[in-house]
Amino acid sequence: MNIERPKALIIALHDIWNTGSLDKIPDVYSPACIVHWPQSWGSKSRGHIQIKSVIAHTRTVFPDWHEEILDLVVTPEKVVTRYLSSGTHQQEYLGISATGRKVTFEEISIYRIEENRVAEQWCLGDDMHCIAQLTSEAS
């Protein structure tokens, strides 16, 4: 059971989100990939163009977006990461005008690997904690 390739693939995926290196998307995501976002974030994204759009939008809203992997569970066909996402809120997000506040919240993603690329991804984020940081009276 070789788990090094799927592990490296998912580390590269988080690196794309951290750096905004959108040109690396074809190295990580399959052309027909599907990403299932939490319902509050919108519908599914399909293919490289839509994934690129979501990453670019995230990095516009939170220009310093960063995902720190906390846990990584790897099999040849599936990988799970628990990670700490953070960024400074510079544009409207989920109907909340830019606050300039730094948010930090946990997420979990499950990735289905096929032919050494991410074929499907399911994401869950702590939306309530993120929104609370943006809307609370304390800075």
Long-range contacts of residues 85-93, Cβ cutoff 8 Å, at least 24 apart: 85/125, 87/58, 87/61, 87/62, 87/63, 88/62, 88/63, 88/64, 89/61, 89/62, 89/134, 90/60, 90/61, 90/62, 90/63, 91/60, 91/61, 92/61, 93/61, 93/62, 93/134
CA distance 92 to 138: 19
pLDDT at 130: 87
CA distance 94 to 19: 23
pLDDT in tens, the chain (139 residues): 688 999 999 999 999 999 999 999 999 999 999 999 887 777 799 999 999 999 999 999 999 999 999 999 999 899 999 999 999 999 998 889 999 999 999 999 999 999 999 999 999 988 888 889 999 875 5
pLDDT at 94: 83
Which residues are registered as beta bridge partners of 45? 35
- The residue to which tokens 């995926």 are assigned: 13
CA distance 113 to 111: 6
Question: 103 near 130, Cβ under 8 Å?
Answer: yes
Residues 6+ apart with CB under 8 A from 127: 38, 40, 41, 94, 105
pTM comes to 0.92
- Catalogue all structural domains in the chain, each as residue range(s) with its CATH number: 4-135 (3.10.450.50)
Neighbours of 98 (CB within 10 A): 13
